[in-house]
Structure 1
Amino acid sequence: MTPNYTLSGRYRIIRSLGEGGMANVYLAHDLILDRDVAVKLLRLDLRDDPKTIKRFQREALATTELVHPHIVSLYDVGEENGMQYLVMEYVKGMDLKNYIKAHFPLPLQQVIDIMEQILSAVATAHAHNIIHRDLKPQNILIDEQGNAKITDFGIAVALSEHTMTQTNTILGSVHYLSPEQARGSMATKQSDIYSLGIILYEMLTGSVPFKGETAVSIALKHFQNEIPSVREFDAAIPQALENVVLRATAKDPRDRYATVADMASDLLTTLSESRVGEKRFEPADLGNDETKIMPSADIAAAIAANRRADAAKKDRQPTPKTPHQQSKPTDEVKNEAPLPKRSWSKRHPIRRRIILYGSIAILLIVAIVVGLELSRPQMTTVPKLTGMTQAQATKVLAKRQLSVGTIKHAKSNEVAKNEIIKSTPGSKQSVQQRSRISLTISNGEKKVNFGNYVNENYADVKSTLSSVGFKVKQRFSTSDVAAGQIVSQDVVAGSSVLPTNTTVTFTVSAGSRYVALRDLTGESQSDIVNYATANRINVTFKQGYSDDQKAGYSYDQDPEGGASVRAGSTVTVNMSKGSQPANADLAESFKVKVKIPYQSLNTATATANDVKIYLEDDSHVIGSLYREITITDNTRVSLPFQLTGSQTGKYRIVRNGVTIAEKNKITNKDASN
């Protein structure tokens, strides 16, 4: 299948994702729903093979029945020019086999989290009476968020089909094959559990437990050799976690977990302190109830031994008395003790039966009450999980006999990335113990469309925007509109921005009043800013040397103190850098060229970008605006710097309220040629 070929007029092939024994998989784009999909296409050399076609169709049927967040979804089934294909969910990431190689060793909590997802998916398949029969890391995909998804139900089989594995034929990968499958017996749910145990072993150790030169030699090891100890590989692995591997991979299916849910429940608490010091799992001794064929010589010896035992028993018996010995004289009969009287129970049979039946009835009632009490589901309360990570939530839930269920992801401006937004059921709700709690986890912030706040009250707008993460600033302007009302904004209305990465500056009406300017010399920068804000005056800071004022305090201003200025006007304040150094004559001037990229706002007409430039050198302070421009295309600007001695400069460029460029420690080495 070549790139750009469009399957059924809908699925445009992009590239190959992999080739298998039955089908090839391609990345394609759904032209109707505008999304990437995975297309599994039956190989051309197999399209006339009835068995392969049946197996391919079985995968489609099995996957259609299974809807689960950790099972790859099936979108479509079709045929074109004799080519049968499946359209499935595209999982961007890698399979678990490669994930283990790339990230080994995996943290134990991550191993448990991934395994929990796999187990919940297999539990769903088993609930539909579908056995996968080919569970292995190559058939488990890990997406970019670390979520597991099971794929390839090509050899899955429904229990109702009673399909037996053919003699001398082993379906599935031999490294993960259960002993009963290796012997040629029918695969069961316990067979999938065995494969899951091998997968868990590989996640903990980085390799499979049994290796060999041939598939037959590996299969023999599965039902002859014991699983190697994971704790011998890494002593830091808890015994409780190794026990999950040992129980899942027990040779006798009866020794394994009864259900996948039981395995998940056991796995969930393996890192709990309550299981520290747990003994190593040993399979139960089920006895040997097989029928044995004994040799004829052994049978004859057993019969002879029985006859000798009977003869010895007869020799030990007392000699029976003669009739004369059994009869007694008349006087002896007379001296015999009288016959005992009949017991009360024999003299009152009806009362005895009433008491007996009454006792039985009472015992039955007690048994029923106790049974109902024991069968009553144990309830617990869902804890508050908001703001926790998935690992933290897993531990908290385990303490209340609960576990993590379905995982969903969503954007959130209120909850940090990888933290829980909400749980279902929610906190404080009463649920049965061993219930699964679904979680919605934050993928981080989502962009929002910035509104138009002109003519609104600045204080109200600032409160609203600050609460969702925006940095809000104001500058004043003389205006005839009411004081405190927004006149303009530097972030274009309708533009898509990230709140925590956006600084918006509003031009706010200062009214038309006049202010008697205070003498600001000798004050700190923060005090001057507070005064300017309270009186709705804009202030610009410059730096210079002063022998009369210590560094960090103002030594001059324009206009001077006492002048009457209109609200909204700008006052320039010179801040002292201290006394003029001896090498002041070594001040050097140079320029740094910076490219400012234009941002298209996806509007019908071109919209200019508002750009603010901030500098810091001998004459400028980074907190004061150096220059404001508007651009309609990519633009280059030259930024002038004047630095004395070892002083360094800074610049920051803000486009439409968002900082797009910032550099500290500017020296003459950064000068443009």
Structure 2
Amino acid sequence: MIGHTLGGRYELLDRIGGGGMALVYKAKDNLLNRYVAVKVLRQQFMHDDEFVRRFRREAQAAASLSHPNIVSIYDVGQEDDVHYIVMEYVNGHNLNEIIRERAPLQVEEAVRIASQICDALDHAHQNQIIHRDIKPHNILIGNNGRVKVTDFGIARAVTSSTITQTGSVVGSVHYFSPEHAKGVATGEKSDIYSLGIVLYQMLTGRLPFLGESPISVALKHLQEPFEQPRLVNPHIPQSVENIIVRAMRKNPHERYGSAKRMLADLETCLLPERLNEPPLSFDSDEDEEEEQTRAIPALKPEMRMSGQETAARKEPEPKEEEEEEEPKRRWVMPTVLSVLSVVLIGILIWAIMTLRGQLSPDDVEVPTVVGYPLEQAQQMLENAGLEGRQVATEPSSDYDPGVVIKQNKQDMAVKKGAVIELTVSSGPELVEMPKVEGESYDEAVERLVGLGFDRDKIAKNETHDKSDPGTVIDQSPEEGTELNPETDTIELTVSLGEESFLMPNLIGMTLSEAKAAIMQKDLVLPKENIIYEPSYTTENKVFKQLPTEQNEMVTAGTEVKIWVSSGYPADAKTITYNVTVPPAAEGVQSKIRIVYSDARGDNIEWGTQKITRTETFPVTLVLSPSKQGKITVYRDDQFLADIPIPYEDTQTSSFTVDPSYSEGPQASAGEPDRDRNRDKDKDKDKDRESDTPDTDETQGD
């Protein structure tokens, strides 16, 4: 039924337990978004109207209980022929598993567990609900240490037909109270007796009564004393043994009057002043001992006389006869009772021997084969004179494939040659990987966790993609793959959205270079977004772009627009100036650096040259009507001269730096000395224009 949803809300996720009457599943309550345990009646009981009716009534009665040590009942329902009870999910183990693994338990732990069980029983008894099936299997221990009692009242719902089907006594005979074994009405003290056995088992690691058959165990509950707990485990304090002894008295009147009184005793039994208190004793124990050892009274001396003497005394005086009659009456009744006891015991022994005579010759004890591989388990059963037959396979997270996980008969004697039905593990229950691509990451994780996958085993890989951020764009394994939720790992690739990056700088690139840069970044350049215009700044290169901001963040697919220079505008003037510069001293090396400004930009580096004599350097400028040109000369990193080139000045094609500049003050650009040198240059230019207007042309030649 795993994967089935009951009542439109309880999605069965995994099977976590089961017994003779029902299977228990871990489920997700999709309405309240919480985990619950769902107990589903086995199919063979679904059509027993009386059982179903009592099952529902008892479940509803248990639902009325509200106590921290009682598993809460949330819902009771039916879907078609399926009857189910929804209850609190306890994440932990049952007490039977803990006893198997760790018994005997520490005294403090056992007393703590017993106290919580006792508190739960007290609450139930006050609400007129008797459990009747207290045993370790029905005690759940959460991972937080909280004890939870479950299966309240369910055992009462079994009918005669179900007893016939199972072939066993209802409940567990090892935890029966004597009155339960007799078949008489059971009450609160029956639960107290069963709790005493549970406490005995926790502290000793064994049951007080074992036998070859359920009948022999039941008779021991009625007749035989149990071995004192301290003889099995000397570490048990006398105060704790006294609690077990009182709880397990065969006479209900000698047990605790209520679970509340037993709880009060448990809460103080580990106090230092109580640990070594005297052993508990009962008056009835002495009476039973006297009755067992009491002999038939011996005959008086007068009764041992010869026949003649007896005959002579045949007619005693009336007074003497009355005197002898009184003592005679005193031993008649005990004698009769003793004889009757002997007869009854003899009949009981005869019945037991007869019953054992019918069973024991061919009876064998069923070995426990759970946890063994099937072939080994079958061999163990065969060695015991039994036949092991595989009847089913079930998924199991606790056992490897091929290992026996259940057997229909265990810890009991059966006829030699009997068939023991074995259920074998098919391995962990696998879950089909769903498709989560296209879902948000959070939704996908919650869906996988709901299927039983561990949240820590869901790996997240993030990458940039055109999908919305947080969307699952890939999954591994693929949809439909069968996985083990407890061990397998899932990888989900999640979109971070489209990746953003810095807009490349296209200015100064040729068209082919710009296209390559745009393609490399997955940007888009439509043909109509390539615009050719004249430009002062460059020729046949990009001089403008959109997005315009360099280093602006863009994403793949962003549309780009560029302007490519088709050449200089019609009013642009291209002039080459020959700049003649002397060294600081003839024959001594100087470093000449030339910087120019024109329509293409300001402070453009022309370059540097090393000279030892006067040399001329051509500098080409592009002038526009709105911006004049300028050439600046530096020698040995010191400002030497500024040469202004106006747009209207199209005749001057050369300029010689006056050698006298090398003798004047050397100043950096922008300092007052530079301004004075520039004034000298202007004065010399005026002199040249007035005196020798053709000087520049002559120098140009």
Flag whether TM exceeds 0.5 (same fold). Answer: no
TM-score by length of 1: 0.42
TM-score by length of 2: 0.40
